[in-house]
Structure 1
C-alpha cells in the first residue's frame, strides 16, 4: 500500500480507512494533501478488494480546512498582469475541485466520520462523500465567507442536495458554527455517536455491512444516485433500465436470491 505525507491509509478486510494525518496543523489541507487525495481514490477505484472507504481525522479534529500557508504562497506568486493572474487562479481552483470530484466520482461508497473542527474546505470534502456521521461536539462551518470569499470547491454545489437550499444559504452567508446535534437535525450528518471512539467503531461497522453486499449492486446504486442528482427523473429511469439490462445477468443476483431464500449470508466476488 502506498505511503503519503498527509494521509494514513489502512485496509481492514474490505474497508479502507483514510485518516487526514496532520494533527499538529489541525489537519489543515496543504498542497500535498490535494494531490494525495486524488492518488488515494485512484488506488481505491483500482483495488477490487476495497469496497467501502471511511474518511476521518487524526488527533482532536477532522480538519480546519485549507492551509492558509498554501493560500499565502499562491498570493505571493501573483504578477501585475490581471489576465494571467486570473487564468492561474482559475486553473488552481479547478485542480482543487478535481481532488474532491475524485471522492464524489469514486465507484465505492465513501463515509465521513467527523469529530472536532470541520471547517471551510473540510465541508467541501464531506459534501462529496456518500454519508456523514459525527460526534455531538463536532463543529461545522462554511468558513469561507469570513475570509472574504465564496466557497469554491463544491460546498455550494453539493450541499443544497443534502440539507436544502435555504439552510445551505443561511450557513454560507453567515459562516456560523453548527454542532453535531444540529447537523443531524438538518440532515448534514445521518446520526451522532457520543465519543470519537464510538463514532469510528459505529462507522466502521456500517462500512463493513455495506461491504458485505454485492459490489456490483452497490456500484450501480451509487452510479444511479449520482446520475439522478444531476438529471431528470426520465433520464434516470432510462439510465437504470440500460444499466440493469446488463447487471441483472450477474452471478451476484443468483447468489443474493439463494442466500435470501436459505436465510444465509452470500459471499460475493470482489
Structure 2
C-alpha cells in the first residue's frame, strides 16, 4: 500500500501566522505518524497579491519550525494548462457559462432582490449569484466576449447537481457543528460558484481538486473554515472523474476576541514572534501542540 500523502498549501500573499503554523505542523506530524509524505504547494494564482518575497518567507518560517517537505514544490502559476483542461471538460458537459456582471453590479442586484426579502447566502455568508447570465443567448455571450468585457465563468450548479446524487465525504476531523464520519455534501448551498475568470483559467475550488488529484494527496488536513467548501470540491471531483481524499478539518486558532487570524494580524505573525525570541517549541505550545 502506498504511503499516505499530505500537503500544506499556503498562498504567498502575506506572512504566515499562528494559524498557518498550526495547520502546517498538523500535516507534518500526521505524515511522520503514518509514515507518509508531506508536500508543499504554493497557491499563487492571484498574480496581483502574490509576491516572491512572501514565498521565500514561507520557506524560511516552515524550515525554522522544523518542518521538512518533498521537492519540487508545486506552484499553481506554473500549471495553468492543468486547470484549463479541467475547465474544458466541465464546459464540454455544458456546465459552465460566462457571467459579465461586475462586483458592484452584483451588489446592486442583491440589493434589488432583498427588497422582496432576504437574498440567500452561501455558507461563508456571501450572497448567491443573483444574475441571469445563464439565460443569455449564445450570440450575445459571444458578442460580449469579443468586445473584451470582463467575465467570470460560473458552474451551473443546478445542472451539475442533477448529474450527481448522494454525495458524501469521509471526515476524520470535525466540522464546526461536530460533524464527523460520513458527511453529506450540499454543494447547492453555494449557488453558481466561480470556476475561472477571463484572465485566469481557474479558481480556488477548481485548482484545489485538480492539484490534490495530480499530486496524489490522500488526506487533506485543513481548517474548519473550509469545511463547507468541501461540498463543492466533492462535486467537482465526481464531475471530473478525480479521486476522493479523506478530510481532516481542524479547529481554527483565534485571537483574544475570538476572531479567525488573518495575515494582517501582525501580533500573531510567525516572523514577529520569532524575532521576539519565541522558539519553535514555544510556537507548538502556543497552538496547543506541546
Bigger fraction of residues in helix: 1
* Same structural fold, with TM-score higher than 0.5 when normalized by the shorter chain: no
Report the TM-score when normalising by structure 2: 0.25
